Amino acid sequence: MLLPNCPMQLLRVPLNCPADPSRRFLTARKFDLGKAIEHYETARRFREENNIIRLYDMIEIADFEKTRKLYFHWTGRRDKKGRPVCFYDLEYMDKDALAHWEKTRTFAQWKYSQADTNPPNPDMRQLASVYIDSMIRFVIPLCSMMADRPEPSNPITSSLYLVDATDFGLKRAWGVRNFAQEISWLLNTCYPETVERIFVCNSPSYFQSIWKYLKGYVDPHTAEKIVFLLPDEVLPTLREVIDDINIPAKFGGGLAFTHGQSPDLENDIKQHLGLEDPSKTLPPGPIKWIEELDGRRTALAVGSQGGAERSDRVATIDIPASNISAQALSVEA
C-alpha cells in the first residue's frame, strides 16, 4: 500500500513489502493519512538533505565502526520470533564517548560532490542515520529471509533491544539527555515502527527516579516501548522471548557478547550466508542487499577505506518461491 502522491522510491529504504515505508508511517500515525504523509515527507527531506543513500556507499569503514559503539548493535542473534536482538551497554556512554559524540554534532553537514575526492566527514545525524540504515538495509531483510522461524511468510519488521543499565546513575543520566533526545527523534522521524521493545536490564532500584527525568527527552512513542527490569527479573523475562543461547552472558544467558563487538552469527544464519568456515565472518562496515538479474539476492559490503569505495560480495542467496516475505524484499543497487 502506497501513500497517494508520495513517491516511496524517493526514500529508497529497502524493506519488505508488508513493512514498506508507507505502512510504517501509517502505523506510526494510527492510519491518519494526512499525518502519515506529513511524517513521511519530513523523513524524505531529511534523508535527501543529508545525502544518506550516497553516504551509505561512501562512509569510511573506520567511521562506521566507531559509530557502532555509540548505538545499539546487532548481536548476530534473534529472538523466538526471528527478530534481530540488539545490545547496548550504558557503561560505555562515559564522558569520553559523550565528548566524541558531542564533537560530531559540531561538524558541518557533509555534502556529496563528484568533484570532491576527500573522504566524507559526516556530522552526528548523518553518522547515526547511516548506522541505523544498516539495520534496515541488511539485518532486518536477512532475518526475514530466514525460513527457520514461526510464520516465515510474515516479514520481520522490527528489532528487540537489550540495554545493560548496571551502575547507571543520575550524574550519567544528566550527561546522556541530549543523546537520548537525538536518537529517539531520529528513530521516530525516519525509522518509525522498527523498535519492537526495549528492555532496560539490571536497572537499579532508583532508576525510576532517573527515568522520570530522562523521559522528557525521549519521544513518547519510543518511551511506551521501554520496559525496566530489576536484576532478578532480567533472565526470567528475557527467557520468555529469547532462547538462552542467544541471551548475552551479562544477563545470565549463553552468549559471550560485549559492547561494540561485531555480530556473533547464529549457525543457521552462517549456513544461510555460506559462512560456515570459522575463518569467514561478516566484514566490518556497511552491507546492503541488491537484486541480481536472475532474481537472487546478493549482500554487498560497501563503504570506503582511505577514500577508495568498495563493492565486495559477501553472499549470494537463492530465494525459494515459497518464501513469500523474502520474495517481497525490496532491494536496490
Boundaries of every domain in the chain: 8-327
**How far apart are the C-alpha atoms of 79 and 68, rounded to whole Å?**
21
- Whether residue 226 is predicted with pLDDT greater than 70 in this model: the reply is yes
- Whether residue 7 is predicted with pLDDT greater than 60 in this model: the reply is no
Task: Give residue 119's pLDDT.
Answer: 84
Beta strands in the chain (DSSP E): 73-78, 84-89, 159-164, 195-201, 226-228, 287-291, 297-301, 304-305, 308-309, 312-317
Smallest CA-to-CA distance from 303 within 132, 49, 55, 123 is with 55
**How far apart are the C-alpha atoms of 77 and 2, rounded to whole Å?**
32
| Percent of the chain's residues with pLDDT above 70 | 89
Mean pLDDT of the chain: 87
Bridge partners of 77, per DSSP, are: 85
Taking only the tens place, the pLDDT of each residue in 55-112 is 999 999 999 999 999 999 999 999 999 999 999 999 888 888 888 898 888 898 999 8
Place of cell 510464520: 151
CATH topology of domain 8-327: Phosphatidylinositol Transfer Protein Sec14p (3.40.525)
Smallest CA-to-CA distance from 163 within 142, 147, 179, 148 is with 179
Bridge partners of 297, per DSSP, are: 291, 317
Task: Give residue 53's pLDDT.
Answer: 94
